[in-house]
Chains A and B, each alone.
Chain A
């Protein structure tokens, strides 16, 4: 069974970089596409971007200048970095597996609430 386990700090200071990691078990990261999605408190979901095991990435145009997604195939992990954070980046962040050919998310991490505050 595929499982995605998220890790990373729940509190980040304004102007700093948010960093989260998603560890995949039950599947090789060398298949599918691996995404990050976030949800501000009380609001809807927002797709941030994805990475393929080759390192190929694609990002939400509205956040492209601040988002970096990377992959570590030896650890079956992928990671998110969001730079220059503000209070508006406070959200629950989810990692998810996305199918390449039919473009849907089938497995999700448990979610991590990241609060941006000094």
Chain B
């Protein structure tokens, strides 16, 4: 079974830029996987940030952006703020109705 891979953890300085990635254990991510990204803080339900690779969900600040970088989907946060410290999950559509979550990245802003 294909595994969706994410960095377990990342850190960024306030005001800095960070790029989180979402890959496959076998193969490359393309727009046909409809990558989406979610932010989750402790005790809360996930919040949708990005869908179809690079479309921001309603109300999401434009410092969040999505793209394909090389063979992975990517979430870039530009001008990181303290309240961006969260867990970030990507989801890939595998076809046949199946969605798979990545393991998540814990982002620290310090």
Say whether A47 contacts B100, CB under 8 Å.
yes
Knowing A44-B104, A47-B91, the reply to whether A104 touches B48 (Cβ < 8 A) is yes
Q: In the complex, what residue of chain B is closest to A108 when comparing beta carbons?
A: B45
Say whether B103 contacts A44, CB under 8 Å.
yes
Knowing A45-B89, A58-B97, the reply to whether A109 touches B48 (Cβ < 8 A) is no
- A77-118: which residues lie under 8 A (CB-CB) from chain B? 94, 98-99, 102-106, 108-111
B36 at the interface (CB under 8 A from A): yes
Give the interface residue-count category, chain B.
Answer: 20 to 34
Cα A62 to Cα B98 with chains together (Å): 11
B1 at the interface (CB under 8 A from A): yes
Say whether B97 contacts A104, CB under 8 Å.
no
Knowing A103-B34, A104-B34, the reply to whether A44 touches B89 (Cβ < 8 A) is yes
Say whether B101 contacts A47, CB under 8 Å.
yes
- Interface residues in chain B, defined as those with a beta carbon under 8 Å from any beta carbon in chain A: 1, 34, 36, 38, 40, 45-48, 51-52, 57, 89, 91, 93, 96-104
- Interface residues in chain A, defined as those with a beta carbon under 8 Å from any beta carbon in chain B: 35, 37, 44-47, 50, 58, 60-62, 94, 98-99, 102-106, 108-111
